[in-house]
Structures are given as C-alpha cells and as structure tokens.
Amino acid sequence: MTGLAVTDLCKSYPAAGGGRREVLKGVSLRIDKGECVGLIGESGSGKSTLIRCALGLEKPDSGRVDYEGSFVHEATGPDLLLFRREVQIVFQDPFASLNPRMTVEELVGEGLLVHRIEPSRARRRACVAELLGRVGLEADAMHRYPRAFSGGQRQRIAIARALAVSPRILVCDEPVSALDVSVQAQVINLLADMRSALGLGILFVAHDIGVVRYLCDSVLVLAEGRVVEEGPTETVFGDPQHDYTRALMAAAPVPDPAEAKARRALRRQQREAARGSEP
Amino acid sequence: MMARPHLSLGDATVFVLVALILAAAVFGNLLAPEATFSSDIGNAFLPPDAQHWLGTDSQGRDVLWRVIAGAAPSLLSSMLVVTIYSLIGVVVATLATVVPRWLDEGLMRGTEIGLALPGVIVAMGFASAMGPSLASAVIAMSITGWPITARLLRSITRQTMVAPYVQGAQVMGVSRFRLMTRHVLPNSLDVLIIKWSGDVSITILVLGGLSFVGVGAQPPSAEWGAMISDARSYVSTAWWTAAAPGAAIALTAVSFSLLGDILQRRLGGAGASGGARS
C-alpha cells in the first residue's frame, strides 16, 4: 500500500542580501492511507514550504514527491488528475480559504464538477446536502456565502469541500489554530471520525502537542529545514530528544496545578541555564 | 468589519447628477426639438432669456438643447472608449497571470511600450489617415488606453493568485480557465469599476480636447468639444455659446471622478489594494 511519499526534498529561495536561503534540507516523510502523521515545528522551520512542495504547488530544487508510484512534479493526464483528486488540503484560516464569491453549494460541489463525479446539477446538489450533513451543517446552508458562517462552520465547509472528491490523503495545515478553543475540539473530532469512517490518511500540521497526541499515530519534528525527530507519537513525546520538542512540551498547558508549578520551575531553570551558558 | 456608510447628501448629489447626465445621453437626442440641429440665422446669438435659457449660438440654435443632445457623443463615446480598453486590459492581465513567466515578462514589456504611446498623438495620426471624426478618435483612444489598466489588474491578479482559496482550487485540480474565471477574476475586478468611473472622467476631457482641436467630432455635431471649438470665435460677444458646453464637460468630468471616489469608498474598503486612478 503506497500513499504520499516525500523523499529527500530540498528547497531554497533567493535571500534578501543575495545568495539563497535553504528552507528544506533533505526532508523525507510518508503518509499511508488510513494513517495520521503529525508534523510539528516552529515558525520558519519549513512546514509551509514542505506542504506546498508535497502538494505540487511548488517545484523543489531536488528530491521527489511520489503518489501511488508516480512522480507528482512530472505527472500529467490521468496520473495528475488522480493526484489532484485523491490528495486534498484544509487550510489554517477558514476566512481566507473559501472563495467569498461562491456559494457553499458551489464551493462544496466544485470538486464533484471538475472531476466529473456528478455532472448533473441536481445530483450534485443532493451530494452537497449529504456532505454538509456529514460535517454537521444544515443542508440549507448551501445557498449562502461563506461570510454568513462562523470560523468553525467555515472550517466544516472547507472539510466538506475537501471530502467531496473522496480523497485518500488530507493535508491539514494547522486547521484549528485560528479557531476558538471551544470549536477546536469539534473540528478535531470531525477529522478523527472522517479518518476512521473513510480510511483517510492525514498529514496534520500543528503547534498544539495535545491535539497531535490525540489524533496522530506518528509524529515528525521539523527544525531549520530538517527532520530532527520522528517516530510513534508516544515514543517521541515520552522521551523527547530535541530541544525544540522539549521546549514545545514544556510550553503546553497542563490541567494539574501541581504539575504546572513544577513545569514553571523547570522552565525557569532552563532559562537560567541558557543565560549562564552565554559568554 | 465596518458597517456600510450611510448615503450622505454629497454622495446622493453625485448619484443624481450622474443619473441626470446619463439620462441626457440616452434620451437627449430623442427629446430635443428639431431646431437643435437646423439653423435659424435670424435668431443667432440671442443672450440667455426665458425662451432660450442658455441663449442661442451662431446658427440660432438653442444652446441648452444642444448641450443636452451633446451628452450622447461626449459621454457615451468616452464610456465606450474606457469599456473597450478595460476589456483589453482584463484580457492582457489574465493572460499575463496564466502564461509561463517569460511570456508574462514579454507581455509586460509590450505593455510598457504601449504606455509610452500617448493616445492624443495616435488620435492625430488616425485623424490624418482616416479623416478627422469622432470614430477615429474613439478607436485611437481605445487601443492606447489599456496598458495602465492591464498593469494595475495584473498586480492585483497576482496577489489573488496566492490567496489560500486559489491555491486550494489548484490542489483540487480545476482547469486554468475555471481558476481564472471563477476564482481569480471575480475577486480581482472590484477595482476596475472604480477605475472605470475615474477614467471616463479623464476621457471626456481628452475627447473634448481632441474635438476642440479638430481631430474628433466635427461640426455640426453637438459634441461638447466641437461646440466649444465652434464658439471660440465669438467668446467675447456671445460668451454663453462656449461657457455652456465647457460647464457641461467640467460638471460631467467632476461627477464621474467623484463617483469613482464614492465607489472606492463603498466597494474598496480600507484593505483594497491598488490606486483607483492613475
């Protein structure tokens, strides 16, 4: 069984003062159908570039992206169409990821139309209604524009839009970090449900360790364009090796006051140690 | 988000003015009495009075009715010019957005050459080649006006191209045609309405100027520039013959310019990109 495989990806951009800035320095990852992989890394670690390359929106300098045995950046015709159908994305900001000039019906039905899954308008409408129901929205939402909905509802519309074409792999680029905490859980649970119901493979990009822990089987930690840590979620978080992973875990809130106090002490200690090591 | 501003007295005035001028352009010729276009030398150069509100001209024609009848050749031709070159601009900007980078560069260099070509000079060339007429002025202005629109739109479509919903559509595999017509253009063309209005204002001045120097509309047309040209010999004795069409040009240009500002305020919002007018 093969899914989406990224091998040894390198990408650099022209830097401000001449020369080039290497954003990705040989990154590899793979997602099989039905598997959920977490990708964490601080801002500027290359997460977005990695996703853009993996989705074929940008050409890497070297390395390859394969889907179902074909090289994504050179795929044409049926191979490309298969990739464009079976790999979908849900973006971070649901206020920017839905075309404001399209109704929900057009947004959710677009994939059905362009991939000729449901060419008939009436059938497409029935399909859209069913998809909306599946993500917990009323069917009459389809006649409205995205501006009529809240952030959480918009993210559900975005998920329905992605799921319309029955994808195998769903890339979620921080899908809940722009949402209220109370809504985050709903969207996460929706993704988890879809995963088990549809056998969806998910690449879940996040900052929030709690969410990754809850949702993902395995996790990759990206820092400065390299994968610095990877493995089953519990192994990585149970015994973090890299500084960034440790810092991230120390920053995550815990529901136990005693534990939180201990954490604060630990962080203070780390800060002092860091200060002491400076010349 | 800011609430939609109320219709202020100033905005309402501009809307009414534009509506009146448009009504004159569309219906003026139908309503004007026969005498608007035929001469009655016995009544030449009558100053404004109760019967001829704006007096009569050298041929004894009523100046007010001529100004109203002149709205059609003056305004409609300007609107036609701006509409044609805006469409050319949209096509060029759209092409520049979808073609490979080197072709985009080529198109933009071509646009810069177009920018260096002044419409007035081309109009004079057309006038000498095809004979001076409103049609040749309109053609010349139409084929020289597009570069600024094309450049402005291309910078906006380029911004729209990187919006997440456009990238999402690409991931979904929509065709380039659908990507442009459904996702990029509908979210990029707001500024065009604003620019269109401002450009109509400028084009009225230019077309009037061309008619005035004799390379646009020809007498006996009631085109405002042609009217002023006709009246310039009598300015010292019959000032109203030149002042009325001059005021009409000024009022129309200002109305459309203000309309552009109002549209920008209402449609553009604070975050709108790009200037409304060049």
Q: Specify the CATH number for the domain of residue B84.
A: 1.10.3720.10
Residue B270 has pLDDT above 70, yes or no: no
Report the gap between the CA of A33 and the closest CA in chain B (Å): 18
Please tell me which residue of chain B has the smallest CA distance to A97: B165
> What's the CATH code of the domain at A149?
3.40.50.300
Neighbours of A277 (CB within 10 A): 7
What is residue B268's predicted lDDT score, i.e. its pLDDT?
62
Is A247 found in the same domain as A224? Answer: no
Is A134 found in the same domain as A258? Answer: no
User: Does residue B275 fall inside a structural domain?
Assistant: no
Residue B47 has pLDDT above 70, yes or no: yes
Is A159 found in the same domain as A46? Answer: yes
Is A249 found in the same domain as A205? Answer: no
| Residue A114 to residue B173, Cβ atoms within 8 A | yes
User: Does residue B82 fall inside a structural domain?
Assistant: yes
A197 and chain B: CB distance < 8 Å anywhere? no
Is A118 found in the same domain as A81? Answer: yes
| Residue A110 to residue B172, Cβ atoms within 8 A | yes
Give Dmax over CA atoms of chain A in angstroms: 71
B10 and chain A: CB distance < 8 Å anywhere? no
Provide mean pLDDT across the span A216-233.
Answer: 91
- Judge residue A270's burial from the number of C-beta atoms within 10 Å of its C-beta, 0-12 exposed, 13-18 middle, 19 or more buried: middle
Per-residue confidence band for B32, with pLDDT thresholds at 50, 70 and 90: confident
| Residue B164 to residue A100, Cβ atoms within 8 A | no
CA B3 to chain centre: 30
Per-residue confidence band for A184, with pLDDT thresholds at 50, 70 and 90: confident
Neighbours of A160 (CB within 10 A): 26
Cβ-based contacts under 8 A for chains A and B:
56
Report the gap between the CA of B275 and the closest CA in chain A (Å): 22
Pairing relationship of beta strands A36-40 and A218-223 according to DSSP bridges: parallel
Residue B274 has pLDDT above 50, yes or no: no
**Please, which residues bridge with residue A13 across strands?**
A21
A198 and chain B: CB distance < 8 Å anywhere? no
What is residue B4's predicted lDDT score, i.e. its pLDDT?
57
User: Does residue B49 fall inside a structural domain?
Assistant: no
Average pLDDT, chain B: 88
Is A45 found in the same domain as A180? Answer: yes
Is A263 found in the same domain as A145? Answer: no
What is residue A90's predicted lDDT score, i.e. its pLDDT?
94
Is A190 found in the same domain as A88? Answer: yes
| Residue A114 to residue B174, Cβ atoms within 8 A | yes
ipTM of the complex: 0.85
What is residue B273's predicted lDDT score, i.e. its pLDDT?
37
| Residue A89 to residue B171, Cβ atoms within 8 A | yes
- Whole-angstrom distance, CA of residue A116 vs CA of residue A119: 5
Is A250 found in the same domain as A193? Answer: no
Report the gap between the CA of A212 and the closest CA in chain B (Å): 23
What is residue B1's predicted lDDT score, i.e. its pLDDT?
45
Is A112 found in the same domain as A89? Answer: yes
B1 and chain A: CB distance < 8 Å anywhere? no
User: Does residue B278 fall inside a structural domain?
Assistant: no
Please tell me which residue of chain B has the smallest CA distance to A99: B165
Is A216 found in the same domain as A197? Answer: yes
| Residue ranges making up the domain that contains B259 | 56-268
| Residue B171 to residue A55, Cβ atoms within 8 A | yes
CA A19 to chain centre: 30
Provide mean pLDDT across the span B12-37.
Answer: 88
Residue B278 has pLDDT above 70, yes or no: no
**Please, which residues bridge with residue A223 across strands?**
A226
In this structure, which amino acid lies at residue A13?
Y
| Residue B187 to residue A99, Cβ atoms within 8 A | yes
Q: What is the percent of chain B with per-residue pLDDT over 70, rounded to a whole number?
A: 94
Task: Give me the residue from B167, B171, B186 closest to A101, CB to CB.
Answer: B186
N residues, chain A:
279
Overall number of domains in chain A: 2
| Residue ranges making up the domain that contains A203 | 4-235
B187 and chain A: CB distance < 8 Å anywhere? yes
B205 and chain A: CB distance < 8 Å anywhere? no
Overall number of domains in chain B: 1
B189 and chain A: CB distance < 8 Å anywhere? no
| Residue A87 to residue B171, Cβ atoms within 8 A | yes
3-state secondary structure of A136: coil
Is A154 found in the same domain as A204? Answer: yes
As a dihedral over the C-alpha atoms of residue A94, residue A96, residue A101, residue A103, rounded to 10 degrees, the angle is -10
User: Does residue B80 fall inside a structural domain?
Assistant: yes
Residues of chain A found within 8 Å of residue B186, distances taken between Cβ atoms: 99, 101
User: Does residue B10 fall inside a structural domain?
Assistant: no
